[in-house]
């Protein structure tokens, strides 16, 4: 196991020394003899790094088809129709709003002043479209975090505009939790006082008490150093998990809380095998096994489990999660990296190396 931990340490160093390392096809490559990075993903049917989809945590073909149409034609109507047909209850609408906003934000980053024209047209030509208002609000949030340093005047100005658009979106769809979930990110950026946050959170849970995405957004707020202590965030996560009905992924919220408090680099093997981490991982595995196979948040949890299972040397369980999500990497923890596909591939290849070192092979891996 020592060589695997050495390789993991080398992988972490790449994140720091990236500009000085060799890069190929947009992914980080390590020139370490015998590195698991040399593992051929085709052997297991895994998707090659350069072909991984960084937009989504898991498959949503309807969304991908519409995104293709919108970005190819710059016509927003297909996006509006998809959101109009997506129930406001559950997680799917929130994920699709995020995806449309992210696509527009990335377009604007790649083509300053021109990208994302379809979103501007959507808001201009159909200002009363609730879906368009929600995507616009989320777009502004993503722009603030992507393009401005937290705490700067530009950052606050963009988030203040996002707050105004959230209010507009809420009026257009009174029973929809999405505008308030978007505002949770605004609350984090602007530093809402607790009383104001509690009022906002009450509006969310009144409309969607078991919304996993909303709980993750609230957890982000509570974990910011100027908003709450670690104990407060942990209490929020464990309370939500304890109250979660059978089959709800809220039972996995403590694992997300542990992740929020991870240091930038932690290679202490015992930490990932500690009682706190083990309990959170076991609760998350139980949630995975109990959840509906079509739960939109299931892929999010599987991605996070890969990180913890690899670092705690639970190779077979890590490989089982990889099998379920491979091909898409648009989820935590990979999206915290400048190169999500490379970050995911490093952990996937470590899982392969550990699995094979303990007698595993493609023939023994369940699908």
Residue-level pLDDT, tens digit, the chain, 367 residues = 444 444 444 444 433 333 333 232 233 333 333 444 445 667 889 999 999 999 899 999 999 999 999 999 999 999 999 999 999 888 999 999 999 999 999 999 899 988 999 999 999 999 999 999 999 999 999 999 887 777 789 999 999 999 999 999 999 999 999 999 999 999 999 999 999 999 999 999 999 999 999 999 999 999 875 556 678 889 999 999 999 999 999 999 999 999 988 865 455 668 888 898 999 999 999 999 999 999 999 999 999 999 999 999 999 999 999 999 999 999 999 998 989 999 999 999 999 999 999 998 888 887 6
User: Can you give the pLDDT at residue 71?
Assistant: 94
**pTM given for the model:** 0.86
Q: Give Cα separations from 260 to 225, 237, 324, 332 (angstroms).
A: 11, 11, 24, 10
> b or e along 171-200 (b: 16 or more beta carbons within 10 Å of the residue's beta carbon)?
ebbeebbbbbbbbbbbbbbbebeeeebeeb
Are residues 138 and 180 in contact, defined by beta-carbon separation less than 8 angstroms? Answer: no
Domains of the chain: 1-57+229-367 (no CATH), 61-208 (1.25.40.10)
Are residues 222 and 236 in contact, defined by beta-carbon separation less than 8 angstroms? Answer: yes
DSSP string, 90-114: SSHHHHHHHHHHHHHHHHHHHSTTT
Burial class (CB in 10 A: 0-12, 13-18, 19+), 367: exposed
């Amino acid at each position: 196991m020592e060589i695997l931990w050495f390789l993991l340490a080398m992988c972490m160093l790449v994140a720091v020394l990236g500009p000085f390392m060799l890069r190929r096809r947009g992914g980080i490559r390590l020139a370490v003899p015998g590195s698991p990075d040399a593992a051929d993903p085709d052997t297991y049917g895994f998707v090659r790094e350069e072909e991984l989809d960084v937009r989504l945590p898991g498959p949503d073909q309807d969304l991908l088809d519409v995104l293709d149409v919108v970005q190819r034609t710059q016509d927003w109507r297909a996006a509006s129709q998809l959101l109009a047909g997506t129930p406001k209850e559950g997680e799917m609408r929130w994920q699709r709003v995020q995806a449309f906003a992210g696509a527009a934000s990335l377009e604007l980053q790649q083509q300053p002043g021109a990208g994302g024209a379809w979103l501007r047209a959507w808001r201009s030509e159909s200002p009363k479209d609730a879906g368009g208002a929600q995507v616009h609000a989320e777009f502004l949030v993503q722009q603030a975090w992507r393009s401005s340093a937290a705490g700067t005047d530009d950052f606050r100005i963009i988030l203040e505009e996002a707050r105004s658009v959230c209010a507009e979106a809420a009026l257009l769809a009174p029973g929809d939790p999405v505008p308030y979930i978007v505002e949770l990110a605004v609350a984090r950026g602007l530093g809402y006082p607790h009383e104001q946050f509690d009022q906002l959170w009450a509006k969310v849970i009144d409309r969607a008490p078991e919304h996993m995405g909303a709980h993750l957004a609230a957890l982000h707020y509570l974990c910011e150093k100027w908003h709450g202590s670690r104990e407060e965030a942990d209490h929020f996560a464990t309370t939500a998990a304890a109250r979660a009905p059978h089959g709800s992924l809220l039972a996995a919220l403590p694992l997300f809380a542990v992740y929020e408090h991870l240091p930038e680099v932690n290679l202490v093997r015992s930490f990932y095998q500690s009682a706190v981490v083990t309990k959170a991982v076991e609760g998350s595995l139980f949630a995975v096994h109990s959840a509906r196979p079509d739960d939109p948040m299931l892929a999010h949890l599987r991605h996070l489990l890969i990180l913890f299972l690899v670092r705690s040397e639970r190779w077979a369980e890590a490989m089982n999660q990889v099998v379920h999500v491979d091909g898409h990497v648009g989820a935590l923890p990979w999206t915290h990296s400048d190169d999500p596909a490379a970050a995911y591939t490093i952990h996937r290849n470590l899982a392969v190396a550990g699995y094979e070192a303990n007698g595993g092979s493609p023939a023994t891996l369940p699908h």
